[in-house]
Chains A and B, each alone.
Chain A
Amino acid sequence: MKMNGAKILIESLKGEGVEIIFGYPGGQVLPIFDALYDADMKFILTRHEQGAAHAADGYARATGKVGVCLATSGPGATNLTTGIANAYMDSIPMIAITGQVKSFLIGNDAFQEADITGVTRSITKHNYLVKDVKDLARTIREAFYIASSGRPGPVLIDIPSDIQQQETEFIWPKEIEIRSYKPTCFGHPGQIKKAAKLIASAKKPLIYAGGGVITSGAYHELRKLTEKLNAPITWTLMGIGCFPATHRLSLGMLGMHGTAYANHATMEADLIIAVGARFDDRVTGRLDKFAPYAKVIHIDIDPTSISKNVRVDIPIVGDAKNILGQLIEDINKLPDTSEWLKTVESWRKRYPLKYHDKKDVIKPQYVVEQIYEVTKGNAVITTEVGQNQMWAAQWYKYDYPRTFISSGGLGTMGFGFPAAMGAKIGMPDKIVFDIAGDGSIQMNIQELATCVCNKINVKVAILNNGYLGMVRQWQELFYKKRYSYTTLANPDFVKLAESYGAAGIRVTKKEDVRKAIEKAISIDNVVFIDFKVEEEENVFPMVPAGEALNRMIEGLA
């Protein structure tokens, strides 16, 4: 059937099973919006393109599906870039569609023109400028395949407005074959056997898991392996939810703000089994002092992650779920971990995760704990970036994948609120909480309108300390308390929420924290809870940048 480029786009998105698009209209996407007007496709009009990108990202993280965002050329497209870079750093499958000036105007500095494929080259897995309407359907098919396979990532498709208007026969390619793109799925059997052997000879094995476990859907395999080995397990920020936090073998998160016992275990282990994690600098601390006694087995789908930072003894490239399944079968001799677990338990007792609770002040950690208790660990938590993010990672116990949604690699303030919006749309039956700071929440606060208009009833817990807390913490610890431009004068968040048609609750007393959370959940609306928390509370433990992992500042000795 003949149709124009805009209709082909919509039909192709349907062909890929897309249920929802987040976006913002503009001059160079008018044909697409005209097609959307009566299309059988849900569209969420955000109030900023960055909100659309983060919402698509949050939707993808919560559901495992590909998130889709749409913006016009020039400023619309450049406003997506933070969201695209964010998805790229965390390997999130996302399609960003941008309008472009008419193809004969490209390169002319036309109104609202930006070379967005040039701009996004280093922050996308791949990108396309569609120059012929006949290529459109195949390009979209390729883009979805690339975005969602191998190590996932964002793919941008730039479509000039004249291409959106031109007509051609719509042919949906059944299969896609890209000769230059063949991600490795199955691990090398010889390498897996070698790994099984090395595991058998270990005395102090530690499993170190990352976001790749969640992407791959290897939750059950990881649990099986951990229990079979009876080995302690730690995870990265991106790995939160890949293994039940309440499990006896769990050590929680490692790294800069990880638990002391996870960091000690890492430094003492004689074998690290890394699964879908990339030894980021926030995890390793000082690299030449990292895990000095450990041999390393590294399972990752991306060959570039292997031996990039840490020397690997047995690399296994492929999909974590497949490899773990095979590894579990290949392990026939088990290491005796009883002594090792005793040591680890002694660290857990000696260096527990803690904070000084007080009667007369609200501690931010207490708020997070209360959210955990009230939601019984069943909520989807998104975070902003900074102290709020670390407390949300430390004090809520995540037992399932895709329940903790946070900007890991890029560290994007303003991510949590629009991401919560996307997550809530993907998981409408879940309670979705954005744990925010008073700084971060103001970076995409305009999405209150989107939430209210579309009845996306997310709950936002603002840990309001009047500071850009994490930067203030660094200034306190490393810059002699010179609080340079980290003090915030904030709006009245309750009135602000109300002015958008949302509900606002202010909490200034500790005894009201739980009630406020319960009330927020019971209100059938978007709710901002403004928790006035201890102003100069710090996130501990903390490994100062450039120090070895076991050189932690405890704060509470």
Chain B
Amino acid sequence: MRHTISVLVENKFGVLARVAGLFSARGYNIASLAVSETMDPTISCMTMVVEAEDEKILEQIKKQLNKLIDVIIVTDFTKKGHVDRELILVKIGYSAKDKPRLDAVLNKTGAKAVQRLDDNAIIEMMGGQDGIKELLDGLKQFGIKELVRSGRIAISK
């Protein structure tokens, strides 16, 4: 199962390597990772989506993160009220004749076309995981050529 965890860390060089190193050394998987400075410039926030087969592994991940000296707080959003968002950019195959079908998908999902060229279009969407899945399902018919995702960020309610 995937879990969204937010980790507040000291904003120092090498901290990302410590966190990433912990995951690789102990064989845990990171599905996505987003890092940025917080309002307090001495603190960075890492939002990560981790794969954990069971509660025991998830507990270990959280405890091991907490054990790192530079980690200030670990928050597990899994069982907590929270809002999460992700930004995606998708390049799809496109020609003028596809316009009605694409517009239908965009209308339904709330995604936007950033550009439409003769042979491709770039679609952007910011949303939750369900919305993003819906968009990707809808875009499959055009052929997805490239896909980039920002990684999930989350905030508690």
Taking Cβ atoms with an 8 Å cutoff, the residues of A that contact B are 117-118, 121-122, 125-126, 129, 146, 178-181, 302-304, 307-308
Contacts and interface: CB of A to CB of B under 8 A. Distances in A.
A180 B18 contact: no
Contact of A146 (B18, B21, B69, B72): B69
B134 interface: no
Given A122-B25, A180-B70, A304 B10 contact: no
Given A121-B14, A303-B63, 20 more contacts: A118-B17, A121-B17, A122-B21, A122-B22, A126-B69, A129-B14, A178-B69, A179-B72, A180-B9, A180-B10, A180-B69, A180-B70, A180-B71, A180-B72, A302-B67, A303-B66, A303-B67, A304-B60, A304-B64, A308-B60
A117 B25 CA distance: 15
Contacts of B71: 180
A118 B21 CA distance: 9
Q: Which of A121, A129, A180, A307 has the most CB of B within 10 A?
A: A180
Given A180-B10, A304-B64, A125 B69 contact: yes
Interface of B: 9-10, 14, 17-18, 21-22, 25, 56, 59-60, 63-64, 66-67, 69-72
A148 B29 CA distance: 32
Nearest to A128: B14
Contact of B59 (A118, A178, A179, A307): A307
30 contacts: A117-B14, A118-B17, A121-B17, A121-B18, A121-B21, A122-B21, A122-B22, A122-B25, A125-B69, A126-B69, A129-B14, A146-B69, A178-B69, A179-B72, A180-B9, A180-B10, A180-B69, A180-B71, A180-B72, A181-B69, A302-B67, A303-B63, A303-B66, A303-B67, A304-B60, A304-B64, A304-B67, A307-B56, A307-B59, A308-B60
B95 to A, nearest CB: 49
Nearest to A311: B56
B66 to A, nearest CB: 7
Contacts of A118: 17
The 7 closest A-B pairs by CB, nearest first: A126-B69, A304-B63, A180-B72, A122-B25, A303-B63, A181-B69, A121-B21
B43 to A, nearest CB: 9
Contacts of A122: 21-22, 25
Nearest to A146: B69
A179 B18 CA distance: 18
Contacts of B18: 121
A303 B10 CA distance: 21
A117 B18 CA distance: 10
A103 to B, nearest CB: 13
A146 B71 CA distance: 14
A508 to B, nearest CB: 48
Contacts of A303: 63, 66-67
A307 B54 CA distance: 13
A303 B67 CA distance: 8
A302 B64 CA distance: 10
A123 B14 CA distance: 15
B65 to A, nearest CB: 10
Nearest to B20: A121
A49 to B, nearest CB: 23
A179 B9 CA distance: 10
Contacts of B17: 118, 121
A302 B68 CA distance: 12
A181 B9 CA distance: 11
Nearest to B18: A121
Contacts of A179: 72
Contacts of B59: 307
Nearest to B59: A307
A303 B68 CA distance: 12
A147 to B, nearest CB: 11
A180 B56 CA distance: 24
Contacts of A304: 60, 63-64, 67
Nearest to A150: B67
Contacts of A308: 60
A306 to B, nearest CB: 8
A288 B143 CA distance: 49
B45 to A, nearest CB: 14
Contacts of B10: 180
Nearest to B9: A180
Contacts of B60: 304, 308
Contacts of B63: 303-304
Nearest to B24: A122
Nearest to A123: B25
A31 to B, nearest CB: 24
A181 B10 CA distance: 11
A125 B67 CA distance: 9
Contacts of B56: 307
Nearest to B26: A122
A308 B64 CA distance: 11
A443 to B, nearest CB: 26
B4 to A, nearest CB: 21
Contacts of A125: 69
A146 B70 CA distance: 12
B71 to A, nearest CB: 6
A304 B28 CA distance: 15
A304 B71 CA distance: 15
